[in-house]
Amino acid sequence: MYNYIAIKGVNILRAVDIIIKKREGEVLNLDEIHFMIDGYVKGEIPDYQMSSLLMAICLKGLNSDEQTAFTMEMLKSGEQIDLSSIDGICVDKHSTGGVGDKTTLVVAPIIASCGLKIAKMSGRGLGHTGGTLDKLESIPGFNINVSSKDFLKQVKEIGIAVVGQTANITPADKKLYALRDVTGTVESVGLIASSIMSKKLASGAHSILLDVKVGDGAFMKTIEDAKVLAKAMVSIGNKCGRKTVAMLTDMDQPLGEAVGNSLEVIEAIETLKGHGDREFTTLCHEICAEMLLITNSVKNKEEAIKLIDKKIESGEALEKLREMIIYQHGDPKVIDDYSLFKKCQKVVEVKALKDGYIKRIHTLNVGNVAMILGAGRQTKDETIDHSVGIKIKVKVGDKVKAGDTLALIYSNGVREKEAIDMLLECFEICQEKVAKHNIILGIVE
C-alpha cells in the first residue's frame, strides 16, 4: 500500500532508517527531511512512522539547520501569499498566545497609520477565549472571510487588513500538528518554531515581529524556555530572508483588564483613544516601536515612540481601525457607541476577602473561567458568546482591602456560581509587599 523507498542517484531513502538516525541523535539532511514530510503529505508515509519520527525529534531535538529545513518543507507544501504588488513594506506580528491578548487590534492600526502595510491572516481561538478573528466578529457585521483579491486591494488602499486564512497555507503543518496533538509530541521547541514560522513565511510579510509570552498564562512557562523558542524562530526567519525579531513579554497576569471578545475589542478601542490600561499600552508601544525599527522606518526608539504617540493623539491610528471595519462591512459606530456590542445579562463583582497585597494571579485559570462563561471554545465546533467575559481590576503588587473589587464577571447565567468561586481562587493575597511585574522581559534579535 505504501511506498517507503525513494531513489536519488545511488541513495535509497527509507522511513525506518531516518527514524533510527534521529533516534540516535544524528542530524537529518535536506533529502531526508523532504522525503518524510513530502511522503507524509502524499499519504506514502503512514501515521505510525511519522509519529515515531516526531517522538525521536522530541527526545533528541532539531538543530538550527534542521529547523529551517522543516520550516521550508512545510512552507512549500501549500500556497504562499504574494504581496509583491503592494507598494511599501509589509510587516507582520505573531503572538504565541495569552489571556486577554488583544494586541493585534491596537498594534495593526497604529502601524498602518505610520505608513507600513499590515496584511494579516489570523486564526480563531481554541481554549480560554476567542482568537483575533472571534474578537473582530463581535463587531456587528464584521466580515473576516475576504477573498485574496479583495484582501490585497484593501491593503493597497488603506494599508491594513486582518482576515481569516483564505489560501491553502502549509497543509503539511496542519497534518503534522493534528498528529502531534494526539501523540504527545507538541512540546518540542524545534517543531513549535518550524510550525509557527512556516505560517508566518507563507503570509508573505517582509519583516516579522514575534511576541513570545512567558508565564502562567502562556505556553512557555519560564524565561529560559521562552528564550530558546524565540532564538529558534528568529534564526529561521532571518535564514529565510525575513528580518525577524522576538520580544519576550510577561503573561503571569492577564494582559490589560478585559478577558472576553467584545470586552477586549472595547479595551483595544479605548487604548487607541489613549485611555488604555498602562501595562497593555506599554506593550503595544514597545511592539510598534520594534516594528518601526526593524523596517528602518525610524532612526531610533525615541523617534519611534514619538511617532506612535502622535498617531494616537491625532486620532490617525483610531481612524485606521475605523477604515478597516468599514472595508470589512462592520458597523464603525461601535467605536463611539459601545452599546452596539451585544450585551450580557448581568455584571457580578468578585471582592477580596481580606486585606493585603496581590501576590499572584493564576492567569491560565482566569482564562478557563472565561471559557466556562462561554467566551472560548473547547472544540472547534462550539459557538462563542461574544458578550461574556471578565475584567480584572487589580494587578500583581496592588494593595487591597477586604471588600475591594478584584474582578467583574460579565455573565449570561452559564455556570455563573462556579465561575465566581473559581475566579476568587485565582487571586493570592499576602501580607508582605510584592514587586510589580515588568511587561517587557527581553528582546531576541
Enumerate the active-site residues. Answer: 94, 173, 180, 195, 199
Amino acid at 269: I
CB contact at 8 A, 99 and 364 = yes
Residue 396 CA to residue 182 CA, distance in Å, equals: 36
CA nearest 33: which of 80, 78, 68, 79? 68
- Three-state SS at 162: strand
Pairing relationship of beta strands 207-214 and 91-95 according to DSSP bridges: parallel
Residue 232 CA to residue 145 CA, distance in Å, equals: 32
Residue 7 CA to residue 18 CA, distance in Å, equals: 14
CB contact at 8 A, 110 and 317 = yes
Dihedral angle, C-alpha 133, 136, 140, 142, nearest 10 °: -70
CA nearest 169: which of 107, 54, 82, 39? 82
Residue 432 CA to residue 315 CA, distance in Å, equals: 42
